[in-house]
Amino acid sequence: MDIIIREMNKFDCLRCKDLTLQMGYHDNLADFDKRFSLINKLPHHHLVVAESLVDKTVVAWMHLEIRYLLVSSFKVEISALMVDEKMRGLGIGKKFLAYAENWTKNCGFKDIFLYSKLMREDAHNFYIKCGYLNLKDEKMFTKNLEKNVMQDLKAIYESKLDSKIENIKIQ
Ligand SMILES: CC(C)(COP(=O)(O)OP(=O)(O)OC[C@H]1O[C@@H](n2cnc3c(N)ncnc32)[C@H](O)[C@@H]1OP(=O)(O)O)[C@@H](O)C(=O)NCCC(=O)NCCS
């Protein structure tokens, strides 16, 4: 399948939201566009789509994020990766991983990782096929505090993060 991988823009949001629905994520998708506007400004995040060269349809999207951790070296997380269910098995996921790995190296980091739900066995097989190791199975804990943090986050990020990703070269 001939595709180009390019940065996501606001006109892609509706389509990316549809692809996300295919994965069974129904919660909070109403705020997808707002979250895109915020995340897209953050220099340590990178959002991309795969666009078909045949008809310009967006067939997949991916979210990469530099994780600044005190307990280990800085690394890149693949926070989301989803391919249209009609386009799976055509090599798009593999091209995305190659892109993600190049982005990681270009940012100056040597490790890339992701979390995947236990039930997503197909995805696990895909990652193993592409050379990824399953290091551990973890539990996730959460608590709903009934506060919308979007505005707080916007203020924090806009005041602190005005540097460009190209300038970040810390391991
Ligand atoms: C998992 C996913 C991203 C894979 O993308 P894809 O475009 O279908 O995968 P590709 O066609 O690039 O496959 C790359 C390689 O992995 C293999 N592969 C893909 N899916 C596989 C599976 N379920 N089992 C075993 N191997 C698999 C392919 O055979 C191919 O091998 P090859 O290089 O020898 O030809 C895609 O299926 C998807 O979006 N799934 C639903 C969303 C999801 O689970 N995302 C991950 C959340 S963590």
Domain 3-167 has CATH 3.40.630.30: yes
| Domain ranges, ordered by start, for the chain | 3-167
Q: What is the mean pLDDT of residues 74-93?
A: 97
| Integer CA distances (angstroms), 49 to 15, 17, 24, 63, 169, in order | 10, 12, 19, 9, 25
Q: What is the pTM of this model?
A: 0.89
Between 95 and 161, the higher pLDDT residue: 95
- Please give the distance, rounded to the nearest whole angstrom, from the Cα atom of residue 21 to the centre of ligand 1: 18
Q: Which atom of ligand 1 is nearest to the CA of 96?
A: 12
What pLDDT digit, counting tens, does each position of 9-46 carry?
999 999 999 999 998 887 778 889 999 999 999 999 99
Q: Which amino acid residue places its CA nearest to atom 14 of ligand 1? A: 94
| Ligand 1 neighbourhood includes 129 CB (under 6 angstroms) | yes
User: CB of 130 within 8 A of CB of 6?
Assistant: no
Please give the structure tokens belonging to residue 100.
């993600």
Between 170 and 55, the higher pLDDT residue: 55
Burial pattern 28-56, b for ≥16 Cβ within 10 A else e, equals eeeeeeeebebbeebebbbbbbbbbeeee
Q: What is the mean pLDDT of residues 102-120?
A: 97
User: CB of 112 within 8 A of CB of 75?
Assistant: yes
Q: Which atom of ligand 1 is nearest to the CA of 114?
A: 48
Mutate to test the pocket of ligand 1, among 121, 126, 128 (most ligand atoms within 8 A of CB): 126
Q: Which atom of ligand 1 is nearest to the CA of 121?
A: 23
pLDDT confidence tier of residue 121, bands split at 50, 70 and 90: very high
| DSSP designation for 70 | S
- What's the rounded Cα separation, in Å, for the pair 1 and 51? 10
Q: Which residues sit opposite 81 in a β-bridge?
A: 62
What pLDDT digit, counting tens, does each position of 150-163 carry?
666 666 666 655 54
Q: Which atom of ligand 1 is nearest to the CA of 122?
A: 23
